[in-house]
Amino acid sequence: MIPVLFIVIPMITGLAVFFFKNERSVKLLALFSSLATLVVALLGLTLLNDNNNVQYSANWLGFLGSRISLKVDGMGQVLCLLTSISYPAIFIATWKNQYQKAGNFFGLMLLSQAGLMGVFVAMDALLFYFFWEMVLIPVYFLSSQWGGEKRIRATMKFFIYTFLGSVLMLVGIIYLYSQTPDHSFSIESFYNLNKILPGKTQNWVFWLFFAAFAVKMPIFPFHTWQPDLYEQANTPTTMVLSGVMVKMGVFACIRWLLPVVSIASFQWGDVVTSLAVIGILYASLLAIQQDDLKRLVAYSSIAHIGLMCATIFSETTVGLQGVMIQMFNHGINVLGLWIVVEMIEKTCGTRKISELGGLAQKAPSLAIFAMIIGLASVALPLTNAFIGEFMMLNGIFSSSITHYNIVFTVLAAVSIILAAIYILTMIRKVFFGSSNTVTSNAQDIQWSQKLVLSVIVILILWLGIYPDSMLNLTHGLSESIIKKSDVLPLLMKH
Amino acid sequence: MNALIISAVWGVIMMFSGIVLKQKHAIRNLAVAGLILLLLANGLEMSGTMFFKVDTKGMIEFDRFALLFDSIIFASAILYLLLSARDMEKVGSNYAEYLALIFFILCGVVLVASFKSLLILFLGIEIISIPLYILTGSDKRNLKSNEASLKYLLLGAFSTGLMLMGIALIYGATGSFMNANIDVFKEPPSALLITGMTLLMFSMAFKTSVAPFHFWAPDVYDGAPVVFSSFMMTIVKGAAFIAFIRLFDEAFGSLAPKWQLWMAILTAATLFIGNITAVFQQSVKRMMAYSSIAHAGFMMLAVYAMNTDAKEGILLYIAAYCLATIGIFAVLGKMSDYTFDGFNGFAKSQPLLAATITIFLLSLAGIPLTAGFLSKFYMLKAVIDTHHNLWLVIFAVLMAAVSIYYYFRLIQAMYFKEGTVKEIHITPVFKWTMMILAAFIIILGIYPNLLLYWLYF
């Protein structure tokens, strides 16, 4: 029942919120709904964590071989938890924001949450595609309606990119479906295809799928929509985009690509990893150059996601597990960064690093939180990202399927140094030094942001010191996926 | 058979209703009543009740496929009349005659959906075409409408000539007009038969506005009064596609290796021209005309694939496409400014209509949870199942991505751009019908079985 609740709670409240006129009641209902989802997620992790509760299956398009088949597995738990933490955090942190047509804004936000949850729990390819697109529509309206001046153009670019990727994936899904012996869209049938499909076919089906995932993540050179959109969309939307939505691509690579077309994933592994590594370095170097805080975070996000992508295609259990928990870590870290950026923009009226300075004197608590979250983004030991990035780099290094593992590891590790450069420089320029006319009237953050940032900091430290709680969730799944995508027996068979 | 006879008779009744009934709304109600009767009679025929027993010598056969298609068409026509019948008053003074012509067209639609002989196909196509020439030119004082009508008549007559020539050649080759007899031929097929088939392919491509025979379509759809171009683009185009499928399935099924590649090329050309040209349009009406060509390209995928999925899918496609296009055109008919800019700020003044139009546009663009997605899905699946020419599928989805641009441009204009829209007069019936249309699109997008079920039971 839990996966159904994940989708139904936000969807129903989301639709209801459209009809509310009063901004306060809209906000309360949205917050209540997102908290209810969080409670369900926590119950699903603890009390109700048994097989009956985390699965759901019902008839849908029987004649097409598609069922409503939902399941929260280890990775699903991590990502659903991330989604259900992010939404209330976003709502609380931006509680004071005023919106034109608040009903529409919060309705669309909740609908996007329903879609995201659906993507993470769908165990049927057609259903997965439905949810995949269902996320896109609310986000399209969110970022077109609210945001900067050039938002419409940026959103259109984003939408056409992602839609193009998605329809290519649709072709891939239908093709794989036509190859399944039992004509079914279920994930088990897709996993069995691995043994049937010859390598040649897999090689082009791989790109149909990867086009969709690469745009979503985004991987160099498919990333050009991202900085524009992050800059133009308003901050709550950007938080959804970068906190949760980009994880869809990473997640989908693990669930729908690696174990389904493993021979192709093996064959193209080096190409994709190279692209990812180029992206990491390129985005990190660009991040150093940025003067706009939003663009800086956007590029840093590309670098972090690139590392995850590179790790996935190194196909090691430890690396995969690292990706899974790093998805969560990156989600909450970037959420924290966005809140900090939003607060800076609110209080100083600008996002330009060159115009800011000495903010720590006026806003000490904001500075403390920014420092901790910044250090977590740099993957300092004792923060959550350290665990994730260590495991990922370890995974790439110990990978047995590529000859270039040392090169990839070294280049990817450079990104950590570059991250330290741009994050620490940013913090130094924005928060330290002497204050100027822009920052002299700055105010410190209020209780709502303090609350959310404290929760984020607690999570950062907790997962940094005691990561076992998260590692236990993902261990079994990582092993089984690596086992399914082991190419050696497949290659011998063909 | 029920629908065929009732539609013809009701057409005659409508013609005389103009003399007897003086009030416009009475005529309108009579037409709606006639369509509801048609739908019911057709529904009864599906469950086995025939009102009329006519021996057609096997030239017409009402199978499930044809009957289900007729039901879709009648249901769409009811919704069409509920939304647009008032706007027909604005076109000219011959209100009853317009409605009568629409009933005659429906009679032709029933014929082409269930022909078993090329003669009936020809008859049906002509019964559809001639009233259409009149309706296109019905706005007599408008030069564009006259031009469109003349263009349509000349080119239509030309394509009819091609069709007759083709039928004659096929008769020469096989000695029969019956679909079933044409399909039985000695290998290798004679040049006469192949030529005849090619001519029929061209003329059907003309009727369905498939590139490179599409040149009439944008001008005619743009020139004709909005109410009638909506009818032409949806119901008539659907009927032409059903005839196309039936012809190439039943009469030329065994010749498939000869025509399949040509169909693939026609499909790709139509998709390309329709979508790319639509991007550059400034008028929503003309954009929809090109979008209709683009959708013809997608429906051509069914003609190309010609398997069970294709036949199920084309019905769903026609339903989805008709519902969405009828809805958009109904609103377009109320607007004074057809350009994209004319829709700026539409969502503020008409939030409900804007929301329903958005659903229609999403369906046309093929976004999941709408009928448009599943119908595109069926088309792609049908082609993938043939295991040939998979490039066509990739090309089709690329073009579907292009279509996002022009459909979403309208959404952008309605929601995200500032502007003032002239007050438009909306009746409650109009509002409710629009909501029903949107509901149908979403329901079919989640449970297509509700429609396709009737194909088998």
| Residue pLDDT, tens place only, A262-279 | 888 888 988 999 999 999
Instruction: From A144, A175, A93, A103, select the one nearest A340 (Cα to Cα).
Output: A93
A269: which 2 tokens? 């592994």
Mutate to test the interface with A, among B359, B381, B456 (most CBs of A within 10 A): B381
Q: Does residue B221 carry a pLDDT above 80?
A: yes
- Residues of A with Cβ-Cβ distance to B393 under 8 angstroms: 171, 174
Please give, rounded to a whole number of angstroms, the shortest distance from the CA of B405 to a CA of chain A: 7
Q: Contact A15/A83 with Cβ under 8 angstroms? A: no
Confidence of residue A493 (pLDDT cuts 50, 70, 90): low
A164 lies within 8 A of chain B by CB: yes
Burial pattern A304-341, b for ≥16 Cβ within 10 A else e, equals: bbbbbbbbbbbbbbbbbbbbbbbbbbbbbbbbbbbbbb
- B58-89: per-residue pLDDT in tens? 899 998 999 999 999 999 999 999 998 888 88
Host domain of residue A432: 2-493
- B314-373: per-residue pLDDT in tens? 999 999 999 999 999 999 988 888 889 889 988 888 889 999 999 999 999 999 889 999
Selecting from A130, A134, A174 the residue whose C-beta is nearest the C-beta of B381 gives A174
Q: Does residue A416 carry a pLDDT above 60?
A: yes
Please give, rounded to a whole number of angstroms, the shortest distance from the CA of B400 to a CA of chain A: 8
Element (H, E) at A55: strand A55-61
Cβ distance B384 to A175 less than 8 Å, yes or no, reads yes
A201 lies within 8 A of chain B by CB: no
Across the strands, what pairs with A147? A233
Cβ distance A171 to B398 less than 8 Å, yes or no, reads no
Q: How far apart are CA A292 and CA A280, in angstroms?
A: 19
Q: Does residue A292 sit in helix, strand or coil?
A: strand
Cβ distance B415 to A144 less than 8 Å, yes or no, reads yes
Within 10 angstroms of residue A103's Cβ, the number of other Cβ atoms is: 20
Q: Which chain B residues touch A if contact means CB-CB below 8 Å?
A: 362, 366-369, 373, 377, 380-381, 384-385, 390, 393-394, 397-398, 400-401, 404-405, 408, 412, 415-416, 447-449, 452
Mutate to test the interface with B, among A170, A176, A177 (most CBs of B within 10 A): A170
- Residues of A with Cβ-Cβ distance to B367 under 8 angstroms: 133, 136-137
B356: which 2 tokens? 């329903």
Burial pattern A33-62, b for ≥16 Cβ within 10 A else e, equals: bbebbbebbeebbeeeeeeebbbbeeebbe
Q: How far apart are CA A60 and CA B225, in angstroms?
A: 42
Instruction: From A300, A439, A421, A431, select the one nearest A371 (Cα to Cα).
Output: A431
Find all residues with CB under 8 Å of B425, minimum gap 6, and list them: B334
Tokens 């001008």 appear where? B219
Q: What is the pLDDT of residue A494?
A: 56
A101 lies within 8 A of chain B by CB: no
CA A486 distance to own-chain centroid: 26
SS (H, E, C) chain B: CHHHHHHHHHHHHHHHHHHHCCCHHHHHHHHHHHHHHHHHHHHHHHCCCCCCCCCCCCCECCCHHHHHHHHHHHHHHHHHHHHHHHHHHHHCCCHHHHHHHHHHHHHHHHHHHCECEHHHHHHHHHHHHHHHHHHHCCCCCCHHHHHHHHHHHHHHHHHHHHHHHHHHHHHHHHCCCEHHHHCCCCCCCCHHHHHHHHHHHHHHHHHCCCCCCCCHHHHHHHHCCHHHHHHHHHHHHHHHHHHHHHHHHHHCHHHHHHHHHHHHHHHHHHHHHHHHHHHCCCEHHHHHHHHHHHHHHHHHHHHHHCCHHHHHHHHHHHHHHHHHHHHHHHHHHHCCCCECHHHCCHHHHCHHHHHHHHHHHHHHHCCCCCHHHHHHHHHHHHHHHHCCCCHHHHHHHHHHHHHHHHHHHHHHHHHHCCCCCCCCCCCHHHHHHHHHHHHHHHHHHHCCHHHHHHHCC
Find all residues with CB under 8 Å of B48, minimum gap 6, and list them: none
Q: How far apart are CA B408 and CA A156, in angstroms?
A: 8
Cβ distance A174 to B380 less than 8 Å, yes or no, reads yes
Backbone phi, psi, residue A184, to 5°: -140, 150
Task: Over range B370-392, report the average pLDDT.
Answer: 90
Q: Contact A127/A68 with Cβ under 8 angstroms? A: yes
A146 lies within 8 A of chain B by CB: no
Q: How far apart are CA A290 and CA A297, in angstroms?
A: 9
- Residues of A with Cβ-Cβ distance to B408 under 8 angstroms: 140, 156, 159
Q: What is the pLDDT of residue B87?
A: 86
Q: How many CB pairs under 8 A join A and B?
A: 66
Q: What is the pLDDT of residue A82?
A: 92
Selecting from B393, B398, B404 the residue whose C-beta is nearest the C-beta of A159 gives B404
Find all residues with CB under 8 Å of B413, minimum gap 6, and list them: B340, B341, B343, B344, B346, B419
Q: Does residue B103 carry a pLDDT above 80?
A: yes
- A125-167: per-residue pLDDT in tens? 999 999 999 899 999 999 988 888 888 888 999 998 999 999 9
Cβ distance A174 to B368 less than 8 Å, yes or no, reads no
Task: Over range B368-383, report the average pLDDT.
Answer: 92
Helix axes A468-484 and A447-465, enclosed angle (nearest 10): 60
- Residues of A with Cβ-Cβ distance to B369 under 8 angstroms: 130, 133-134
* Residue of chain A with shortest Cα separation from B448: A61
Cβ distance B369 to A61 less than 8 Å, yes or no, reads no
Look at the alpha carbons of A276, A282, A287, A290 in this order and tell me if their dihedral is positive or negative: negative
Instruction: From A197, A195, A203, select the one nearest A264 (Cα to Cα).
Output: A203
- Residues of B with Cβ-Cβ distance to A205 under 8 angstroms: none
Q: How far apart are CA A160 and CA A229, in angstroms?
A: 13
CA B454 distance to own-chain centroid: 20
A328 lies within 8 A of chain B by CB: no
A156 lies within 8 A of chain B by CB: yes
CB < 8 Å from B in window 35-74 of A: 61-63
DSSP code of residue A63: G
Selecting from A133, A144, A174 the residue whose C-beta is nearest the C-beta of B368 gives A133
A401 lies within 8 A of chain B by CB: no
Strands A66-71 and A55-61: antiparallel
Q: Does residue A289 carry a pLDDT above 70?
A: yes
> Can the peptide bond before residue A3 be classed as cis, meaning omega within 30 degrees of 0?
no
A177 lies within 8 A of chain B by CB: yes
Q: Does residue A290 sit in helix, strand or coil?
A: coil
H helices of A260-404, in order, are 262-289, 293-312, 317-348, 359-362, 364-377, 384-397
- A43-84: per-residue pLDDT in tens? 888 877 777 788 888 888 877 888 888 988 888 888 999 999
Element (H, E) at A80: helix A74-93
Domain ranges of chain B: 2-455
Selecting from A62, A133, A160 the residue whose C-beta is nearest the C-beta of B401 gives A160
Q: Contact A328/A243 with Cβ under 8 angstroms? A: no
- Residues of A with Cβ-Cβ distance to B298 under 8 angstroms: none
Mutate to test the interface with B, among A167, A183, A225, A237 (most CBs of B within 10 A): A167
Cβ distance B449 to A63 less than 8 Å, yes or no, reads yes
Least confident of A1-15, A62-76, A281-295, B3-17: A62-76
Selecting from B369, B408, B448 the residue whose C-beta is nearest the C-beta of A130 gives B369
Compute, in degrees rounded to 10, the torsion defined by CA atoms B116, B119, B124, B126. 160
Element (H, E) at A70: strand A66-71
Cβ distance B369 to A163 less than 8 Å, yes or no, reads no
- What value does the mean pLDDT of chain B take? 91
- Residues of B with Cβ-Cβ distance to A15 under 8 angstroms: none
- Residues of A with Cβ-Cβ distance to B447 under 8 angstroms: 61
A225 lies within 8 A of chain B by CB: no
In angstroms, the Cα distances linking B187 to A91, A432, B184, B248, B392 are 72, 88, 9, 18, 29
Q: What is the pLDDT of residue B399?
A: 92
Q: How far apart are CA A107 and CA A123, in angstroms?
A: 26
Please give, rounded to a whole number of angstroms, the shortest distance from the CA of A160 to a CA of chain B: 6
Instruction: From A246, A203, A189, select the one nearest A223 (Cα to Cα).
Output: A246
- Residues of A with Cβ-Cβ distance to B362 under 8 angstroms: 137
Q: How far apart are CA B270 and CA A20, in angstroms?
A: 45
In angstroms, the Cα distances linking A99 to A351, A448, A464, B8 are 20, 18, 36, 57
B319: which 2 tokens? 């339903």
Look at the alpha carbons of A31, A37, A38, A39 in this order and tell me if their dihedral is positive or negative: positive
Q: Contact A44/A97 with Cβ under 8 angstroms? A: no
Q: Does residue B10 carry a pLDDT above 80?
A: yes
Selecting from A129, A159, A170 the residue whose C-beta is nearest the C-beta of B408 gives A159
Instruction: From B371, B231, B338, B253, select the one nearest B303 (Cα to Cα).
Output: B253
Within 10 angstroms of residue A80's Cβ, the number of other Cβ atoms is: 24
- What value does the mean pLDDT of chain A take? 88
A408: which 2 tokens? 């990839």
Q: Contact B106/B74 with Cβ under 8 angstroms? A: yes
Find all residues with CB under 8 Å of A220, minimum gap 6, and list them: A275, A276, A278, A279, A282, A283, A302, A306
Residues written for chain B? 457
Cβ distance A130 to B368 less than 8 Å, yes or no, reads yes
Find all residues with CB under 8 Å of A95, minimum gap 6, and list them: A27, A448
Cβ distance B394 to A168 less than 8 Å, yes or no, reads yes
Q: How far apart are CA A131 and CA A118, in angstroms?
A: 6
| Amino acid, single-letter form, for residue A312 | I
